[in-house]
Amino acid sequence: MNPDFHIKREAGKCVACGLCLPHCPTYNLLHDEAESPRGRLSLMLALAKNDLPLSAKLESHLARCLDCRACEKACPSYVAYGRALDSARALIESQRAASARPANRSVALIQWLVEKPARMRRLGKLLRLYQGTGLQWLLRKSHALRLAGLNGLDAAVPKLQARKNFAEIYPAENKPMGRIALFTGCQAGLADQEVLTASIRLLNRLGYETHVMPEQGCCGALHLHGGQTVKAAELMRRNIAAFENGSDTIVSVASGCAATLGEYGKYLEDDESAENFSGRIRDINQFLADADWPENIAFHPLPKRIAVQDPCTMTNVLRQEDRIYALLGKIPGAEIIPLPENNVCCGAAGAYHLTQATIAEQLRAPKIDHLRRLAPDILVTSNPGCAGFLAAGLREAGLTIEVMHPVTLLEKQLKT
Ligand code: SF4
Ligand code: SF4
């Protein structure tokens, strides 16, 4: 992971045509060239070439980037913007290392927590106590969270269910179709529990024996996009080792994780096992939509309006948002409505809603307005970060729209 090399290679491809500008949410919001992909690429290049020193201003322009990669999708010169940005943040972190000052303490804490599954389990215990004893209600009511600057963090955590320990193998329940390995990541005991359970049930019904590798952990996205490349590589290698036995397809239920897992091969250059690992990754929506469905599987009708939010990782990185609509189309009677302006990031963007709360809320506001106007019964999104951030916005707006993963909804309608 040589940051200078990647910045120079990718930013060097930019011909400054400006075709990406209308696709950039921060440029559209702030109307400043330095908040556009073209402007940021020129700043990164100047930093990598030592033409510009690292300054708070330069750092802030790069920190305000959502890493949504809408510009990358629009670029006719194939600039790998995401790669350039991750490299620039790594370069900044390496220069900052001397001061040993983290860029943001909340992000540093989250990065520390996700590094070890045992820390996430302990966090889950604490959060369940916090939510179950009424402490959360009390602190929210007293505005103490807002005063302590913890309201964003608190709002992003969904209501947790009782902890579930996943078995290592779930046998197929139909004509055997093969083995699948399920990526549970760092959130297995927290927000993703329901969708992991739903995914296992659907995979089993389709005939797939499902394996949950116990040694796996965080995909490394938070570290990678925060410039912590050494730690990110360590987390990547742990997952590669955890899934090394067998040639199974690896299915991820969170599109954000699937996007990162699918790029291990690009980040761990010259590592054949990383390339092999990435080649096995499928997003759950993609896998289920492309699978052969036995005739003995049917769904209960659902005469409800279902709004669909397309996470940036699904549209700009995996580029498979159509699979979500194909899956939801299996539910008889459901009215499926794509959320208007689905091509624009909702503002969650990993830890962005914590570090750049004002811009994040400005990006979320039109989504909430669309939801108020459309009045769906359910909002589905395949990324837990978007789900938590949008659910918090709906709560604040006093809207009672249930937020869930498309696969959770599909499984709820499954006929036994
Ligand atoms: S990644 Fe998103 S926010 Fe960042 S420059 Fe590209 S389009 Fe703009
Ligand atoms: S579209 Fe590509 S080449 Fe054109 S300005 Fe944007 S990044 Fe540069």
When pLDDT is cut at 50, 70 and 90, the band that residue 405 belongs to is very high
Q: Measured from the CB, is residue 71 less than 6 Å from ligand 1?
A: yes
Q: Measured from the CB, is residue 22 less than 6 Å from ligand 2?
A: no
Q: Measured from the CB, is residue 347 less than 6 Å from ligand 1?
A: no
**Would you tell me how many other CB atoms lie within 10 Å of the CB of residue 262?**
22
**Ligand nearest to C-alpha 42:** 2
Q: What is the pLDDT of residues 104-143, one digit of tens each?
A: 777 777 787 777 777 777 777 777 777 777 777 777 777 7
What is the pLDDT at residue 96? 75
Q: Is the pLDDT of residue 412 over 90?
A: yes
Q: Could you identify the atom of ligand 2 that is nearest to the CA of residue 21? A: 6
Q: Closest Cα to atom 2, ligand 1: which residue?
A: 68
**Ligand nearest to C-alpha 89:** 1
Q: Is the pLDDT of residue 100 over 70?
A: no
- For the chain, give the percent of residues with pLDDT over 90: 73
Q: Is the pLDDT of residue 214 over 90?
A: no
Mutate to test the pocket of ligand 1, among 71, 87, 341, 344 (most ligand atoms within 8 A of CB): 71
What is the pLDDT at residue 269? 86
Q: What is the dihedral angle through the alpha carbons of 110, 112, 113, 115, rounded to the nearest 10 degrees?
A: 120
What is the pLDDT at residue 165? 81
Residue 73 and residue 315 in contact, taking contact as beta carbons nearer than 8 Å = yes
When pLDDT is cut at 50, 70 and 90, the band that residue 288 belongs to is very high
Quick one: which of 141, 61, 154, 48 has its CA closest to 95? 48
**Ligand nearest to C-alpha 36:** 1
What's the rounded mean pLDDT across residues 3-8? 93
Distance CA 182, CA 228 (A): 26
Distance CA 39, CA 27 (A): 10
What is the pLDDT at residue 98? 56
What is the pLDDT at residue 376? 98
What's the rounded mean pLDDT across residues 93-109? 69
When pLDDT is cut at 50, 70 and 90, the band that residue 147 belongs to is low
Distance CA 132, CA 279 (A): 41
What's the rounded mean pLDDT across residues 386-410? 95
Averaged pLDDT score across all residues of the chain: 90
Q: Closest Cα to atom 6, ligand 1: which residue?
A: 71
Q: Is the pLDDT of residue 148 over 70?
A: no
Mutate to test the pocket of ligand 1, among 14, 24, 343 (most ligand atoms within 8 A of CB): 24
What is the pLDDT at residue 279? 95
What's the rounded mean pLDDT across residues 354-365? 95
What is the pLDDT at residue 128? 74
What's the rounded mean pLDDT across residues 212-220? 91
How many residues appear in the chain? 416
Query: Which of the 8 DSSP states describes residue 313?
Result: I
Q: Is the pLDDT of residue 189 over 80?
A: no
What is the pLDDT at residue 166? 87
Q: Report which of residues 240 and 100 the model is more confident about.
A: 240
**Would you tell me how many other CB atoms lie within 10 Å of the CB of residue 207?**
18
What's the rounded mean pLDDT across residues 319-333? 96
- For the chain, give the percent of residues with pLDDT over 70: 92
